Amino acid sequence: MRAWRCLQRWLGGREHSTARSGGGGGVGANGARAAPHAEALAAIVRRRRAARSFDPDKPVPGDVLRECLALSARAPSGFNLQPYRVVVVQDAYVRKELAYSMLGGNIRRVLRAPVNVVFLADLEPWRLLDRVVDLERETGKTEMELAALRSDASFFVGWRGASASRDQDAEPAAAAKAAFNTIFRGHDEELGRLGGAAQTAEMGLKRGLMQALSHITQTPTINSSAEAWAFKSSMLAAQNFMLAMAAHGYDTSPMEGFDARRVKEALSVPEDRFSVPLIISAGVADDGIVTDAEDSKDNASPRFPFEEVFCADSFDFPMYRRAPPANKDMENRK
Ligand SMILES: Cc1cc2nc3c(=O)[nH]c(=O)nc-3n(C[C@H](O)[C@H](O)[C@H](O)COP(=O)(O)O)c2cc1C
């Protein structure tokens, strides 16, 4: 209700202000697709900001929390492996334990927030591969597509679940991928005993080989670590959660200032398998900062100039830069 009221107030009479924001689907006169949710999304994105403090007496209703968590998991992920787990802390005792794993101002934030959501990145995503293949099979993927998924995913994330389905492929990069998968698949047990070190070594080898082969053909870019790979998808899920909470009229605060070893201990997280990319406190902010979209523009945190961040077709050409003014000096020289 809160989210709806907030959105209605912000939209108040604006729904039909532009052709692209009008309701309904379909295609507009200029061929552009109608964008019935564009203004609502802009309002939600602007409403989200890192809350400094929370009112401990204002809880997040269970159904709202569940919906936001479910939306969090709708985020895209590499090979749809969904390489994360999420621990939702609401119990007062556990909250205290978590709070004392935090640093500086984050301690108070966690103590006051009614909900603290701990995102955990799975450093062994190959363990998820069989289940994802099964899920994808249920959606009607062919066995060939599933074999390709298995082969490609295992090349990116580790040796487990590798498939020889691409061994016959003549492309140099694909042949190297198949060879790697076959070698590492053949030694699952030994490599498993070596744990993370073996996986890091494997990723390093693949990375070097792919970089060398890249001069001959396009090759997959292997992330520098399993953590880097898993963090990407985990952070997208975390962002979905924050936006969903904002849409419901609640506030969030993303935090990286914590002692991950203590966090894992407090929440009984398997030490080796998971890493902690982000913890998000959630609730109703009581820091006095206005968040309703219309007013919050004045309170928004600063951003680098648009032209500095966004480039057009080339790294060194700012997007939407005005045409350079006519250079009188150059003209005079002619
Ligand atoms: C990965 C990440 C880690 C962050 N860690 C902390 C933190 O430990 N403590 C904190 O007060 N804010 C933290 N923030 C919040 C940022 O300071 C904040 O997002 C940034 O200043 C922009 O402000 P805004 O979110 O209100 O737009 C973090 C944000 C991100 C994305």
Q: What are 3-36's pLDDT values in tens digits?
A: 444 444 433 333 333 334 444 445 555 667 788 8
Domain endpoint, select from 153, 178, 213: 213
What are the tokens at 74?
A: 């709708």
* pLDDT band per the 50, 70, 90 thresholds, residue 211: confident
Domain annotation covers residue 296: no
Domain assignment present for 25: yes
Assigned domain for 266 exists = no
pLDDT of residue 169: 44
Decide whether any atom of ligand 1 lies within 6 Å of the 256 Cβ: yes
Give the residue among 230, 227, 160, 151 at the shortest CA–CA distance from 191: 160
Domain membership of residue 17 (yes or no) is: yes
Q: Is 177 in the pocket of ligand 1 (CB under 6 A)?
A: no
Residue 235 CA: nearest ligand 1 atom is 1
Residue 290 belongs to a domain: no
CB 62 within 8 A of CB 69: no
Q: Per the domain annotation, does 120 fall within a domain?
A: no
Per-residue pLDDT of 254-283, as tens digits, reads 999 999 999 999 999 998 899 999 999 999
Token pair listed for 125: 């995503």
DSSP bridge partners of 209? none
Q: How far apart are CA 216 and CA 28, in angstroms?
A: 45
- State residue 180's pLDDT score: 59
Instruction: Evaluate: CB of 301 within 6 angstroms of ligand 1.
Output: yes
Among 116-120, 166-170, 303-307, which is the least confidently predicted range?
Answer: 166-170
What confidence score (pLDDT) does residue 195 get? 55
How many domains does the chain divide into? 2
Residue 202 has pLDDT above 60, yes or no: yes
Beta strands in 123-267 (DSSP E): 251-255
pLDDT at 7: 40
Predicted pLDDT at 87: 98
Q: What's the gap in Å between 274 CA and the centre of ligand 1? A: 22
Q: Is the CB of 257 under 6 A from ligand 1?
A: yes
* More confident of the two residues 233 and 198: 233
Looking at residue 324, what is its pLDDT? 54
Tell me which of 186, 213, 240 is where a domain ends.
213
Q: Which of 256, 263, 281, 289 to mutate to test the pocket of ligand 1 (most atoms within 8 A of CB)?
A: 256
The contacts of residue 90 (CB under 8 Å, 6+ apart) are 114, 115, 116
Q: Cβ of 307: how many Cβ atoms within 10 Å?
A: 14
Greatest mean pLDDT range, 65-69, 151-155, 292-296: 65-69
174 lies in some domain: yes
- pLDDT higher than threshold 60 for residue 59: yes
Average pLDDT, the chain: 81
**Is pLDDT of 98 > 80?**
yes
pLDDT for position 192: 53
pLDDT-derived band at 334, boundaries 50, 70, 90: very low
Residue 334 falls inside a structural domain? no
Distance 255 CA to ligand 1 centre (A): 6
Give residue 15's pLDDT.
Answer: 37
> Which residues span the domain enclosing 158?
126-213
Which pair of tokens denotes residue 303? 């951003």
Q: Kindly give the number of the ligand 1 atom that is closest to the alpha carbon of 257.
A: 8
